[in-house]
Amino acid sequence: MPPSSETTTRTAPRTQSTSPWSRMPTWLRRTIIAIGLLGLWQAYVSLSGVSQFVFAGPWEVATALVSGWGSGEIARSTATTLEMLAISMVVGVAGAVVLSVLSVLTSFGNDLVSLMSSMINPLPSVAILPLAILWFGLTPTALIFVTTNAVLWPMTVNLSMGFRTVPKTIVMVGRNLGLSRWRLVRDILLPAALPHSLSGIRTAWAFGWRTIIAAELVFGVAGAQGGLGFFINEARYFARIPEVFAGLVTIALIGIALELLFSLLERRTVARWGMKEGTNL
């Protein structure tokens, strides 16, 4: 006699085996992976015989990292880059909100955003750096302009998609309550599109972070001093390879920190409020 559905449901979890690895805390698993990667790094340096003029080991990089932060050189470069990135994020997100609202409220706005995003979003933002230098000169404004362009379009695409996936029933209820277009956007569309907004911000910052580092590398060659990109380029120019790696490690650590921040924000909002499909509360 075949087992009943109740018996199958009751016994199903017993068939799911969890490995010892998956039972460990997430921080412990990732720490073990990081230690393993450091071990592979050190093994490559020790066994391959690679020249120290082109590659540095973990200990040399750690020493350069401590020295750079201790002297304040890396801290100043990091602060400069993060300041310009923050300005670009604010301007880019504000522009994305305006464009997304325009696209959802008018046919002209929808056509404009669709055409502009399809043309500019695939374009590497650093490619317009020569034009930015011609327009704004060798100033931080050129970097902010290029980074804002990198932030604007991914955020606009995600936010527009979030607006368009809001259930029509909710929008109709808002209209029946007599909400104006502005209040409809503020009180209904923006809260309902929160998952797409967070996803857009996460994507936008990643695009902006890569763009500003790449732009600073080119900008450093042009003669302007400043952020982490310039620090890495200057260290490369004087063959200070551990400092090059120290700058790269700093970029990676900031990326990990911001990713953890976004994950925490998502758990405290989207996941807690039941707006994320398949969330385990």
- Cα–Cα distance, 239 to 276 (Å, whole number): 48
Please check whether residue 69 is in contact with residue 75, taking contact to mean a CB–CB distance below 8 angstroms: yes
Q: What is the pLDDT of residue 9?
A: 45
What's residue 184's pLDDT?
A: 74
Asked whether the predicted pLDDT for residue 266 surpasses 60, the reply is yes
Query: Does position 87 have pLDDT exceeding 70, yes or no?
Result: yes
Higher-pLDDT residue of 178 and 24 is 24
Name the residue ranges covered by the structural domains of the chain.
58-271
Q: Dihedral sign, CA of 131, 132, 133, 135?
A: positive
DSSP three-state, residue 167: coil
The CATH homologous superfamily for domain 58-271 is MetI-like (1.10.3720.10)
pLDDT band at 279 (very low <50, low <70, confident <90, very high): very low
Higher pLDDT, residue 48 or 181: 48
Q: Phi first, then psi: what are they for 63, rounded to 5°? A: -65, -45
For residues 189-220, one letter each, b for 16 or more C-beta atoms within 10 angstroms of the residue's C-beta and e for the rest, the string is: bbebbbbbbbbbbbbbbbbbbbbbbbbbbbbb
Mean pLDDT of 162-176: 73
Q: What is the mean pLDDT of the chain?
A: 80
Tokens of 259: 């990713």
pLDDT at residue 56 is higher than 60: yes
Q: Mind listing the pLDDT tens digit for each residue in 229-249? A: 888 888 888 888 889 999 999
* Angle in degrees, CA 259, 265, 270, rounded to 5: 120
Query: pTM to 2 decimals?
Result: 0.78
Quote the pLDDT of residue 145. Answer: 92
Q: What is the pLDDT of residue 91?
A: 93
Question: Helix H segments across 121-240?
Answer: 129-136, 140-164, 168-176, 181-184, 190-192, 194-222, 228-237
User: Cα–Cα distance between 125 and 148 in angstroms, integer?
Assistant: 9
**What contacts 174, CB < 8 A, 6 or more positions away?**
183, 184, 187, 188
| Residue with the larger pLDDT of the pair 255 and 26 | 255
